[in-house]
Amino acid sequence: MEYLSNLIFAVLLLGMVGFFAMNIRKMIRNIKLGKEVDRSDRKSERWAQMARIALGQSKMVRRPIAGFLHVIVYVGFVIINIEVLEIIIDGLTGQHRIFSPFLGPVYDILIATFEILAFLVLVSVIVFLIRRNVLKIRRFLARELKGWPKDDANYILYFEVVLMGLFLTMNATDLAIQQGVQAGTFTSEAALHYVNAGSFPISSWMTPWYSGLSFDTLHIIERTCWWLHIAGILIFLNYLYWSKHLHIMLAFPNVYLAKLTPKGQFTNMSAVTAEVKLMMDPDADPFAAPEPGTEDEVPASLGANDIFDLNQVQLLNAYTCTECGRCTDECPANITGKLLSPRKIMMDTRDRLEEVGAIINKEGKFIDDGKKLLNDYVSPEELWACTTCNACVEACPIGIDPLSIIMEMRRYLVLENSAAPTELNAMMGNIENNGAPWPYNQMDRLNWAKEN
């Protein structure tokens, strides 16, 4: 019976981490449904970019209020994980505050730091809740956030409030027990298990709330908080996959893999290059038989109709998006009331990818469900409102490129469906016929030099 709690803890830990790993494996499988894309170049620049933007949060702080609060929560999250490590070791070994004998006074500093961070995180998260639910901030009121996305964001924040509350209550009761032991009030073996360790600048303010309680009561409160706190963290870990919150991990690879070429440089489609070269080659035989072995190959579609036509970095982008809406807030089309929202493009891509993933989970392989990313999720009206200005790409704090997805779908509309707006067809007809988007003769291109 002595090791029962250790055993329960080990099972809980392994089960939760295992379930999370299983879902991450599915996510990776889903990302691999996309086309391969080579981002193995310029490694040192990529590492530097990751250090600056993901680790260093350099783009987050461009919006000072949200950026500053986010840095607190981010630093809090990273640093408090050291405490989680201790909690896990304690849980597995049945020790209490196992780091304290090794670290001595450093341990006090550490615990004090965790406490202060926990408090700052609590304050920041409450401000976030107010920003999302009370203040009228445009990017949190957009139509794509109605329903689940808004609830999801709030659940994440509630979770953090509860976790930080549990952590501080756990420390406050721990301190109350420590004080009882020091005063000689608590003498049982279980009470002596609570080593005199740590410095509690925040929870010591809460300790008086628990004065006069018996050791047994304090012990129950402390243990309950301890268990709920670690169980909460493990539940939160598993919630990540079902929420918009995966960015806490995916931001790093996502920034590493982000485009390094100038933002204005769009990809040249190699399938088209091959066709154009063939057309321009006077020796090409248009009736030539296909290369042996390639007769049965189905030519890949031009542009993107569904998630399978996007590349793996674009699909990773979709899982990484945390729906902050800075892209949409900067989008000229969205600002002026058009349907387009770059954030919705990312959310739609992820939702469709998850839908495809669910079919694969169920059937073992993808079976056509008659739906597509284009039209079923993203409408041509949204796509044609884009000015390709790159404001969304510039605004994203973690290197997501909604514009590249918009462009791929435009390409599909034009190259596969010939479904450009009429005026654009006229423009393209002009380029084709007379080398300018307007109906002027190419021979007249130098007339301006003779005009006064």
Partner 1 sequence: MSETIKVPTVAEFIAQGKQPEVLFWVGCSGSFDDRSKKITKAFVKLLNKAGVDFAVLGAEESCTGDPAKRAGNEFLFQMQAMMNIEVLNGYEIKRIVTACPHCFNTLKNEYPELGGSYEVIHHTSFLKDLIATGRLTIEGGKFKGKKITYHDPCYLGRANEIYEAPRELIEKLDAALVEMKRSKRNGLCCGAGGAQMFKDAEPGDKEINIERTEEAIDTGADIIAAACPFCNTMMSDGIKGSDQEGKIEVMDLAELIANADDL
Among 64, 105, 264, 293, binds partner 1 (CB under 8 A): 264
Q: Least distance (Å) from partner 1 to the CB of residue 267? A: 9
| Interface stretch with partner 1, choices 38-46, 262-270, 291-299, 355-363 (CB under 8 A) | 262-270
37 binds partner 1 (CB under 8 A): no
10 binds partner 1 (CB under 8 A): no
Q: Residues 200, 115: contact at Cβ < 8 Å?
A: yes
- Residue for token digits 């790093």? 252
Neighbours of 111 (CB within 10 A): 24
Q: 317, 309, 311: which is closest to 350 by C-alpha?
A: 317
Gap between the Cα atoms of 331 and 325, Å rounded = 10
Question: Which residues on neighbouring strands pair with residue 35, listed in sequence order?
Answer: 311
Gap between the Cα atoms of 367 and 362, Å rounded = 10
Amino acid identity for residue 310 in this structure: L
Ramachandran category for residue 284: left, alpha or beta (phi over 0 → left; psi -120 to 50 → alpha): beta
257 binds partner 1 (CB under 8 A): no
Closer of 146 and 445 to partner 1 (Cβ): 445
326 binds partner 1 (CB under 8 A): no
Q: Least distance (Å) from partner 1 to the CB of residue 153? A: 25
Among 273, 284, 300, 369, binds partner 1 (CB under 8 A): 273
22 binds partner 1 (CB under 8 A): no
Closer of 4 and 279 to partner 1 (Cβ): 279
344 binds partner 1 (CB under 8 A): no
Q: Which residues contact 263 (CB under 8 A, 6 or more apart)?
A: 390, 393, 394
Among 126, 269, 359, 360, binds partner 1 (CB under 8 A): 269
Gap between the Cα atoms of 218 and 223, Å rounded = 8
Among 333, 356, 396, 400, binds partner 1 (CB under 8 A): 333
- Residue for token digits 């005009």? 451
150 binds partner 1 (CB under 8 A): no
Closer of 25 and 445 to partner 1 (Cβ): 445
Among 275, 278, 358, 361, binds partner 1 (CB under 8 A): 275
436 binds partner 1 (CB under 8 A): yes
The interface mask with partner 1, positions 349-378, x = CB under 8 A, is: ------------------------------
Among 4, 134, 279, 289, binds partner 1 (CB under 8 A): 279
Q: Least distance (Å) from partner 1 to the CB of residue 430? A: 8
Cα-only R_g, the chain: 29
Gap between the Cα atoms of 452 and 447, Å rounded = 10
Among 263, 359, 360, 376, binds partner 1 (CB under 8 A): 263
**Can you read off the two tokens belonging to residue 87?**
């909690």
266 binds partner 1 (CB under 8 A): yes
Task: Provide long-range contacts, Cβ within 8 A and 24+ apart, for 334-342.
Answer: 334/142, 338/382, 338/385, 339/379, 339/381, 339/382, 339/385, 340/381, 340/382, 340/383, 340/385, 340/386, 341/142, 341/143, 341/144, 341/382, 342/392, 342/402, 342/403, 342/406
27 binds partner 1 (CB under 8 A): no
**Can you read off the two tokens belonging to residue 88?**
């896990």
User: Which residues are at the interface with partner 1 (CB under 8 A)?
Assistant: 261-266, 268-269, 272-273, 275-277, 279-280, 302-303, 330, 332-333, 335-340, 381, 384-391, 393-394, 407, 410-415, 420-421, 423-424, 426-428, 431-432, 435-438, 440, 442-452
